[in-house]
Amino acid sequence: MELERILHKHGFGTRKACRGLVRHERVLVNGVLSDDPFADFPTDGLVFTVDGVDWPYQEQAVLMLNKPAGYECSRKPQHHLGVLELLPVQLRERGVQPIGRLDEDTTGLLIITDDGQLNHVLSSGKRKVPKVYLATTKHELDAAQIAQLLEGVLLHDEPAPIAAAAVEIAGPNLLRLTLTEGKYHQVKRMVAAVGNRVEALHREAVGALTLPEDLPAGHWRWLSAVDLEKLVKST
């Protein structure tokens, strides 16, 4: 693929702007300076560098973010900063968007991509992709509440009871739930339905993909081939 097209695809501006980056000697390909915007390069394993920052070639952008509290999962946020503000402008220019949403005050694993097919697969209610949440509750949990969550609770505007796929007490006021649906404020509403209240909520996993312990809040990383395989196998 021509270097100009590679840069354009990765959000580095218009074709003209990308040609300028190359001609001003700001771009390296696999560590070698290139001043020809029309030079062809094989994309498999390609890493290009712009102004000292390395970028692996990504046919589709798929990444994970450790979402902090205080950010909205929307391209047009209304009351808080949008979660996409945590990403480099080049990724935002690619048109990436979160797969599903986490509430403004919910933290944890968020998958972000410009791959429409992957977004559809992971968002589809028919696929029942499990998502694991760790909820801090106001009151200490008991066996009766756990049983209710597993049996199903009736939520407002829902025609039938909603049940958790798995529930465990992770501490006196810590509840780990696995859900396969994506209802509005589902964890908070389910916990409220059994007479408790969610004080804090954190998503630990989507399918077989778990949030790495070494990824700080507000930081992101590309999904590896192994990560992607875990996601696909979850659907």
> Does residue 136 share a domain with residue 197?
yes
Report the Cα 23 to chain-centroid distance in Å: 35
From the CB of residue 204, how many other CB atoms can be counted at a distance below 10 Å?
A: 14
Please give the pLDDT value at position 74.
75
DSSP annotation of 69: T
CATH of the domain at 26: 3.10.290.10
DSSP annotation of 35: -
> Does residue 138 share a domain with residue 112?
no
> Does residue 202 share a domain with residue 212?
no
> Does residue 224 share a domain with residue 189?
no
DSSP annotation of 200: E
For residue range 147-179, list pLDDT tens digits in order. Answer: 999 999 999 888 889 999 999 999 989 999 999
Question: Regarding predicted confidence, which is higher, 106 or 182?
Answer: 106
Q: Is the pLDDT of residue 109 over 90?
A: yes
The DSSP result for 101-141, as a single string, is: ---TT-EEEEEEES-HHHHHHHH-GGG---EEEEEEESS--
> Does residue 102 share a domain with residue 140?
no
> Does residue 118 share a domain with residue 85?
yes
| Crossing angle of helices 116-123 and 225-233, rounded to 10° | 40
Residues designated as active site: 103
What span, in angstroms and rounded, lies between the C-alpha atoms of 101 and 111? 10
Over residues 2-25, mean pLDDT: 97
Please give the pLDDT value at position 184.
84
Range(s) of the domain holding residue 171: 130-206
Q: Is the pLDDT of residue 123 over 90?
A: no
> Does residue 227 share a domain with residue 121?
yes
Number of domains in the chain: 3
> Does residue 220 share a domain with residue 121?
yes
> Does residue 49 share a domain with residue 37?
yes
Over residues 104-119, mean pLDDT: 94
Q: How confident is the model at residue 78 (pLDDT cuts 50, 70, 90)?
A: confident
> Does residue 151 share a domain with residue 50?
no
CB 35, CB 69: distance < 8 Å: no
CATH of the domain at 106: 3.30.70.580
Mean pLDDT (the chain) is 93
> Does residue 136 share a domain with residue 120?
no
